[in-house]
Amino acid sequence: MTERQSCSLSQARRLVRELRTPQREALPPPGLRSHVLFSVGLADGYLRLSSPIGPVFVALNARGISAVDCAEDAAHFEARFRAAFGRCIFPLEPDEAPAWARQIEPALQRGQTLDLPFDLRGCSSFEQAVLYTTLTIPPGEVRPYAWVAREIGQPRAVRAVGNALARNPIPLLIPCHRVVRSNYQLGNYSLGGSLNKRALLQIEGVDLVLLEQLATRGVRYLGSTVTHIYCLPTCYHARRIAQEHRQPLSSPEEAARLGYRPCRHCRPALPVEQPADLASE
């Protein structure tokens, strides 16, 4: 072997050793790695925002909003998120979030969230159908679980609808608090329990006293003796019926027998009675 060949071989061996040696100084800092993962959809960031029931953590990524939680602190929220979704998560500064994220806090306050993007990739197609249908319920109105089941074409799946809402990863923004039992009892709520559910509905203008009174009398719908249209009690149009023109109704069959037709806004459905132990949201 010539001297030149020996030198070349030494250089080659040195280069191989350098390639095999971890280049720690070449790694980006952890914060930068997180932001790169966020930008390609492999990690989520989160913001701490105000809501009608207090501060909440809102997780989001390039696809949309992925979670809402009211954990004790950031560490608890991060741990719960990683356990639920199996993805990295890190805090975002407001100016680091996508432009559409500026709409989140106003949406939390107004209850108008239809225009926000959501990331529901961890939900089944059935669960997604339930959640997107729930998203259409306007602020100030409630719908029975049976209504959601009928709207997604699964009228017998009332219990499954309740279970899907119990697993809603994005409460508040996907308003599962607006879904109640067929007798208008509120049921539970995954984001702080029934007290938070009651508070949210009252803030949005739902007349809970009226609902309780109607439930006691077995009334499920309200009809107008002027238009002969019947609605769910919290429907925008039902609230406009003058007291002297209100016709209480217990079922769609009774409404049809008396010559009433269903409202096109709230689309009243035939209530399906639920077992008392229904696992509600």
- CA dihedral (200, 45, 65, 77) positive or negative: negative
Residue 171 lies in a domain: yes
Residue 19 lies in a domain: no
Q: Quick one: 198 and 221 in the same domain? A: no
Q: Quick one: 79 and 146 in the same domain? A: no
pLDDT at 168 over 50: yes
Residue 137 to residues 14, 33, 58, 90, Cα–Cα distance (Å):
68, 39, 21, 32
Q: Quick one: 47 and 89 in the same domain? A: yes
pLDDT at 25 over 60: no
Active site positions, annotated = 176
Domain boundaries, position 150:
125-203
Q: Quick one: 60 and 98 in the same domain? A: yes
Residue 116 lies in a domain: no
Residue 235 lies in a domain: yes
pLDDT band at 40 (very low <50, low <70, confident <90, very high): low
| CATH value at residue 41 | 3.30.160.70
Taking only the tens place, the pLDDT of each residue in 237-264 is 999 999 999 999 999 999 999 999 999 9
Residue 281 lies in a domain: no
pTM over 0.85: no
Q: What total number of domains does the chain contain?
A: 3
Q: Quick one: 50 and 105 in the same domain? A: yes
Q: Which residues of 40-78 are buried (b: 16+ CB within 10 A; e: fewer)?
A: eeebbbbbebebbbeebbbbbbeebbbbbbbeeeeeebb
Q: What percent of the chain has pLDDT over 90?
A: 72
What is the C-alpha to C-alpha distance for residues 5 and 111, in angstroms, rounded to an integer?
76
pLDDT at 153 over 80: yes
Q: What per-residue confidence (pLDDT) applies to 158? A: 96
Among the three residues 60, 80, 110, which one is the final residue of a domain in this structure?
110
